[in-house]
């Protein structure tokens, strides 16, 4: 179990450090920055790379919503859910702290939003709470369906991480203007602790919607889409 939790810690660290790091560091320059598309790709690449690195150890969740979806989908023992969540949140916090330490080395730098998620005034496009909850729920449900489908026993072997990473890239391309894209409560928690905004007060939404979406996605998969693979 210790190796599985270590894999989830380091995988989540990599996701937050790479994805949020792209937003905080590489997207900060108007002329040279990578923009929304670059940040979306960075998040996708973090999942692809770390899923191939440690996915065989822990399942490569790196996200409390994914772990819940895997539990509902019959791929994770319920007793392992809370330990996975703890490892993921700790990995996200350590990554955010490291990113803060690096970014603060630039003269005059201020955290501002620090790649946090939000609605209303904290939404990049000024979207309301209802929009944020809906898009996070729908996209997390779709994410879980892709994960369960691409890692099914009858799916083409070895391509799961690519499908999952591309799906996360797509999710960011859709949701960055609305919420700055969460679909991952650990990712949202880590950076919210260091922001100079009200992001911490809005954090509840980025736990609630992804967790609800994950459960919905897993139930849709099990009830309507899952092939007969002997798992259920």
Q: What is the pLDDT of residues 173-224, one digit of tens each?
A: 999 999 999 999 999 999 999 999 999 999 999 999 999 999 999 999 998 8
Classify domain 2-225 at the CATH superfamily level: Glycerol uptake facilitator protein. (1.20.1080.10)
Give pLDDT, residue 230: 47
232: pLDDT strictly greater than 50: no
User: Alpha-carbon Rg of the chain, whole angstroms?
Assistant: 17
Does the pTM surpass 0.85? The reply is yes
Domain extents for the chain?
2-225
229: pLDDT strictly greater than 70: no
CA distance 62 to 50: 9
Q: What is the pLDDT of residues 105-138, one digit of tens each?
A: 998 889 999 999 999 999 999 999 999 999 999 9
Residue environment code for 19-49, b if the CB has 16+ CB neighbours within 10 A, otherwise e: bbbbbbbebeeeeeebebeebbbbbbbbbbb
């Amino acid at each position: 179990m210790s190796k599985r939790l270590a894999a989830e810690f380091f995988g989540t660290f990599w996701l937050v450090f790479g994805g949020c790091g792209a937003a905080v560091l590489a997207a900060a320059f108007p002329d040279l920055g990578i923009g929304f598309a670059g940040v979306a790709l960075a998040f996708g690449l973090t999942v692809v790379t770390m899923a191939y690195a440690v996915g065989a150890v822990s399942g490569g969740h790196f996200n409390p919503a994914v772990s819940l979806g895997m539990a509902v989908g019959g791929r994770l023992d319920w007793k392992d859910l809370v330990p996975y969540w703890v490892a993921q949140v700790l990995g996200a916090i350590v990554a955010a702290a490291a990113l803060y330490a690096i970014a603060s080395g630039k003269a005059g730098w201020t955290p501002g939003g620090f790649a946090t998620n939000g609605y209303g005034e904290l939404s990049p496009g000024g979207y309301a709470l209802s929009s944020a909850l809906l898009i996070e729920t729908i996209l997390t449900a779709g994410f879980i369906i892709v994960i369960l489908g691409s890692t099914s026993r009858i799916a083409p072997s070895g391509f799961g991480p690519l499908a999952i990473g591309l799906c996360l890239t797509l999710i960011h391309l859709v949701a960055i203007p609305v919420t700055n894209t969460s679909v991952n409560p650990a990712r949202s928690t880590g950076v919210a602790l260091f922001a100079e905004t009200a992001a911490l007060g809005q954090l509840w939404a980025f736990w609630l919607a992804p967790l609800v979406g994950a459960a919905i996605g897993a139930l849709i998969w099990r009830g309507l889409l899952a092939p007969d693979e002997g798992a259920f």
